[in-house]
Amino acid sequence: MDFPETTARLRAPARLTASLLALLPVVATLVAVAVAVTSAAAMTFTTETLPDGKRIVRGDGPVVEGDADRLRVALQSADRNASGHKVLALDSPGGLVIESFAMVEVMDRERTATWVRPGARCASACAQILFLSGAHRTVEPGGRIGLHACHTAGDRRRSMACNELIAQNALARGTPYGAVMAFLHFTAPTEIRWLDAPEAGQWGFTRP
């Protein structure tokens, strides 16, 4: 995750909360190590019909500017499951923090559950912001989520401000603060701590 020293290249959506806007001077991207995030590699949203006939949305690839609007359009085609939620299946290395929180606002309005399917990888902003913001959260056997710390762009120091924002967001959605902060604090920004389905459940990151 990368925190630049300037906000010149960031366009803050008007719908962002005041607490998030306060972090604009430092927040940029939260992305898995060695993955480049560019506008040419945006997250793709596709509608898929499950065997039970219900339609879900798949989100594959890094989070870039404009993905919140693309997700909003995609979720209009999704059905609600037995719990009354639309489902977003995630497979992403992470990406822009601001855009990820904008996507969360869309997810909240649509009452969206998050799902990491067998073979899928959801890391960085995908795991720490999108996945943990789901109304219900599932990691299937064979799927994994990856977490690590935020850092500043200039000297690449660990950013406690970003870590705190992410942990507070997770806490507000039913994930233990200490569990999230443990990974954000003890996993270096240049590393990823991967969790499989049983581990994600043990740490309280899933929510049936």
Write the pLDDT tens digit of every residue in 122-136: 999 999 999 999 999
Q: Would you call 148 helix, strand, or coil by DSSP? A: coil
Tell me the H-state helices in 53-204: 67-75, 97-110, 125, 160-172, 177-186, 197-202
Give the type of residue at 24: L
Helix (H/G/I), strand (E/B), else coil: 98: helix
**Per-domain boundaries in the chain:** 2-202
Give the E-state strand segments of the chain in sequence order: 2-3, 29-31, 44-49, 55-60, 86-91, 94-96, 112-116, 121-123, 137-139, 144-147, 151-152, 193-195
Give the DSSP letter of residue 100.
Answer: H
CATH topology of domain 2-202: 2-enoyl-CoA Hydratase; Chain A, domain 1 (3.90.226)
Q: What is the mean pLDDT of the chain?
A: 85
The first and second tokens of residue 155, run together, are 């000297």
Helices and strands per DSSP (H, E), number in the chain = 7, 12
* Separation between Cα atoms, residue 208 and residue 197, nearest integer Å: 12
Contact 141, 118 (CB under 8 A): yes
Q: Which residues of the chain have pLDDT under 70?
A: 1-40, 152-156
pTM: 0.85
What would the pLDDT profile of 9-33 be if each residue is shown by its tens digit?
Answer: 333 344 445 555 555 444 555 665 4
